[in-house]
Chains A and B, each alone.
Chain A
Amino acid sequence: MDVTISKLPFYCVIIPLIASFCMPVLARWKKEFCAPLATLATAAVFVITLVIGYQVMNNGPLAYHVSGWEPPWGIEILVESLSSLMIMLISGVCLVILVYSFVAVKFELERIITGWYYTAFLLCLSGMTGLVISNDIFNMYVLIEITGISACALVVAKGSRMATEAALKYLLLATIGSGFILFGIGFIYMITGHLNISFIAIELAEVKDTYPILIWTTLSFFVVGFGVKAALFPLHLWLPDAHSSAPSPSSALLSSLVVKVYIISFLKILFIAFGLEIFHETFIRHLIIVLAVIAMLSGSFFAFVQIELKRRLAYSTVAQIGYIFLGIGLGTPWGLAAGMLHILVHAFMKTCLFLCAGAIAYQTGRKQVNEFAGMGYKMPITMGAFTIASFSMVGIPLFGGFISKYGLALGSLEAGIPSIILVIILSGLLNATYYFPIIGQAYFSQDEHEAHGEEHGAKKFQKDQLPISMLAPIVVIALGIIYLGIFPGTALNFINQTIAMLL
């Protein structure tokens, strides 16, 4: 294989890293260059990931050994088809969010912060791509910390009282989470003497009967650590505050990508490092399924009670994380594929919803769910995108969410637990109860404040009063949801290649 191509995954990490360190300097000199440079760097990463995706699809996994050291000792970057799909998703969604934040950042943040905002954003991008493609668990830990700290910085960028509080809570809990992960890594190193996931897998398969208790301990440390990071239900306490008080582009990034990359690395550790035998022998599978089911139901229920739109969306993320973990817990080809597809679909849906929430606050200043009367006539394009994303959330056919829920249902049949289907349907109905009232209000009732001047029942469509750089990302993401709903084949191809390797 060509040497340049095998180096490409490395550039995905290093380009945003270098760009992020240019930002603070650039912000002092020429503030208006920050956003274009950040977008340029992200676009470059996106193009590179597309090339990687094409390569991986045609020629199989790409491996790169950093600075030429061979795997057991050096750091290995391994891009198999699932990782390549995920880095495409990460850089693509980041690009869309960056375009959106041209205006949104000026609106929501103080001027002096903007340079630092882009620094944190690019660091987060670099950490996430690195986390997905890294094949070395200690390297993974470092990237987890980079992602976590920059995510906290993205929350606190708003500078408000609520945001600072939420960021501190997030930072403390995330550090506990990464402490647990690091301890787990220590246990693995103690048992196997390796840090490279492929070598750990070989070694663990041999010695797993010698240290049964240690393997149990390690697994539970990883579940707690990644559970805190990915906001699995009883450990989700930081998520609603952090995601709802952050500026809307950051909320979109945090909710759609940051919590997901931890799930990918958990999947890698669970299925590649520990392997299927340990997964089926221990009770880890049942634990994950039970927690996921609780998350799906209670996350939706908590979302139903919230009256602030962004808090409702944040709790909805808790429920959706449950779906993804359910896919992992089922551990059957369809279940796993649907769980991974749900990462993709949910990234699109939540980005769309948070960006719409930000756009609505930008134009009308409304943030509560009961203030949406007549919104469909004032902002038809934004509300149209919001409606598409909500339909997908509920799982209506033709939208992306349907495919992943259908896949999860098939997966639970494969795993021989048909009662899970009931939970999926119930959670979908709960989703409907908190998204449909918003949409219903927006289209079928009139705003009382503005109805006085006009004749009764005269509803007129107006054009959205949004700059094009806010409107275009919303439309692109909404079209992406429909595309995934009608043509999920390409994404499933990528996912199934990796899953065939795992199972």
Chain B
Amino acid sequence: MDLQIVFLNFPYFVAIILFSMGTLIVLTQPNLVKKVIGINIMETSIFLFFIAVGNAHGGVPPIFDASAPDVFYVNPLPSVLMLTGIVVSFSVTAFALALIVKLYIYYGTISAPNFMKLK
């Protein structure tokens, strides 16, 4: 394997590793707050992935400059999309934490195996 390709594309590898880690944490951690943190890691990895997709080596920020109209821009669209993604991730986190607080009032614990059984 050509090491230089790996090095140039390392954000993709980091994104995949973080995504797997996040998913694993959500599925295996017994602690509900840790599950929520896992979801956040997972979604952050997706944001990283999108922004890496939009990046171009040697590109400048996509702001129009009348004196230099032909410069090489970075693609701004994925970054803008990820703003929406961040808002979604934020609201999911808030909702999940609210539910966890409610469950804590019911059960007195935030450890999932005590009540989240398969039925």
Give me the interface of A with B, judged by CB distance under 8 Å: 138, 142, 145, 149, 152-153, 156, 161, 164-165, 167-169, 171-172, 175-176, 178-179, 182-183, 186, 189-190, 237, 240-241
Assess the B118–A138 pair: CB atoms within 8 A.
Answer: no
Report Cα–Cα, A183/B19, bound state, in Å. Answer: 9
Residues B99 and A179 in contact, CB atoms below 8 Å apart: no
Is B103 an interface residue, CB under 8 A from the partner?
yes
If over half of B's interface residues share one DSSP class (helix, strand or loop), that class is named, otherwise mixed; here it is helix
CB neighbours of A169 from chain B (8 A) = 116
A-B contact pairs, 11 of them (CB 8 A): A138-B84, A149-B91, A161-B106, A171-B92, A172-B39, A175-B39, A176-B23, A182-B43, A186-B49, A189-B53, A240-B119
Which 6 residue pairs across A and B have the least CB separation, nearest first?
Answer: A168-B99, A145-B88, A190-B53, A161-B106, A179-B42, A186-B49
Q: Give the chain A neighbours of B49 by CB distance below 8 A.
A: 183, 186
| Contact yes or no, A145 B106, CB < 8 A | no
Q: Which of B19, B78, B107, B118 contacts A189 (CB 8 A)?
A: B78
A164, B92: Cβ atoms closer than 8 Å: no
Verify if B30 is at the interface (C-beta below 8 Å from A). no
* CA distance in complex: A145, B100 (Å): 19
Who on chain A is nearest to B35 by CB? A172
Distance of A240 Cα from B35 Cα, bound (Å): 21
Once A145-B88, A145-B92, A186-B53 are accepted as A-B contacts, the answer to whether A179 and B106 lie under 8 Å apart by CB is: no
Q: Is B26 an interface residue (CB 8 A)?
A: yes
A171 to B99, CA, bound (A): 10
Q: Report the Cα distance A241→B119, complex, angstroms.
A: 8
Q: Enumerate chain A residues within 8 angstroms of B92, measured Cβ to Cβ.
A: 145, 149, 171, 175
A164 to B95, CA, bound (A): 11
Residues of B within 8 Å of A153, CB to CB, are 95
A233 to chain B, nearest CB (A): 14
In contact, B32 and A168 (Cβ under 8 angstroms): yes
Count chain A CB atoms within 10 A of each CB in B53, B85, B118 and give the residue with the most: B85
Closest to B49 in A: A186
Main SS at interface, chain A: helix
Residues in A with CB closer than 8 Å to B46 are: 179, 182-183, 186
- Residue in B35, B53, B81, B91 whose CB lies within 8 Å of A138: B81
Q: Which B residues are CB-close (under 8 A) to A171?
A: 92, 95-96, 99
Which listed residue (A164, A175, A179, A186) contacts B50, Cβ 8 A?
A: A186
* Chain B residue contacts of A237, Cβ below 8 A: 118
Determine how close the nearest CB of chain A comes to the CB of B115; give it in whole angstroms.
6
Contacts of A175 in B (CB 8 A): 26, 39, 42-43, 92, 96
How far is A153 from B99 in the complex, measured between Cα atoms in Å? Answer: 10
Contact of A164 with B102 in the complex, beta carbons under 8 Å:
yes
Within 8 A of A (CB), among B72-86: 78, 81, 84-85
A244 closest partner in B (C-beta)? B119
Within 8 A of A (CB), among B23-65: 23, 26-27, 32, 35, 39, 42-43, 46, 49-50, 53
Q: How many angstroms between the C-alpha atoms of A186 and B49 in the bound complex?
A: 7
Do the beta carbons of B85 and A168 come within 8 Å of each other?
A: no
Q: How many angstroms between the C-alpha atoms of A178 and B92 in the bound complex?
A: 11
Q: Given that A176-B26, A186-B49, A189-B78 are contacting pairs, would A165 and B42 also be in contact in the complex, using a CB cutoff of 8 Å? A: no
**Contact indicator A167/B99 (Cβ below 8 Å):** yes
Check if A179 sits within 8 Å of B19, measured CB to CB.
Answer: yes
Interface pair B106/A164, CB less than 8 Å apart: yes
Docked Cα-Cα span, A86 to B35, in Å, equals: 35
Residues of A within 8 A of B102 (CB): 156, 164
CB nearest to B85 among chain A residues: A182
Q: Which A residues are in CB contact (< 8 Å) with B39?
A: 172, 175-176, 179
Least Cβ distance of B45 to chain A in Å?
Answer: 8
Residue of B nearest to A190 (CB): B53
Contact A156 B99 (CB under 8 A): yes
Assuming the contacts A189-B53, A240-B119, asked whether A168 and B100 have C-beta atoms less than 8 A apart, the reply is yes
Using Cβ atoms and an 8 Å threshold, which residues of chain B touch A142?
84, 88
Within the complex, which residue of B50, B78, B96 is in contact with A172, where a contact is CB–CB below 8 Å? B96
Q: Which of A138, A172, A189 neighbours the largest number of chain B CB atoms within 10 Å of its CB? A: A172
Instruction: Verify A168–B96 contact, CB threshold 8 A.
Output: yes
- Report the bound CA distance from A365 to B82 in whole Å: 48
CB-nearest residue of chain B relative to A193? B75
Across-interface contacts of A183 in B (CB, < 8 A): 19, 46, 49
Besides the known contacts A172-B35, A183-B49, 5 further A-B residue pairs in the complex with CB atoms under 8 A apart: A142-B88, A168-B103, A171-B95, A175-B43, A178-B88
> Which of A149, A165, A176, A189 interacts with B103 by CB under 8 Å?
A165
How distant is the Cα of A138 from the Cα of B96 in the complex, in angstroms?
Answer: 23
In the complex, A179 Cα to B44 Cα: how many Å? 10
In Å, the complex CA distance between A175 and B102 comes to 19
A145 contact set on B, CB distance < 8 A: 88, 91-92
Complex Cα–Cα for A297 and B54 (A) = 45
Distance of A169 Cα from B85 Cα, bound (Å)? 21
List A contacts of B107 (CB < 8 A).
161
In the assembly, what is the distance between CA of A302 and CA of B113, in Å? 22
Residues of B within 8 A of A178 (CB): 88
Residues of B near A167 (CB, < 8 A) are: 99
Cα–Cα distance between A182 and B103 once the two chains are bound (Å): 29
Shortest beta-carbon distance, B29 to chain A, in Å?
Answer: 11
Q: Tell me the bound Cα distance from A186 to B88 in angstroms.
A: 16
Minimum CB–CB distance from A243 to chain B (whole Å) comes to 12
CB neighbours (8 Å) of B85 from chain A are 182
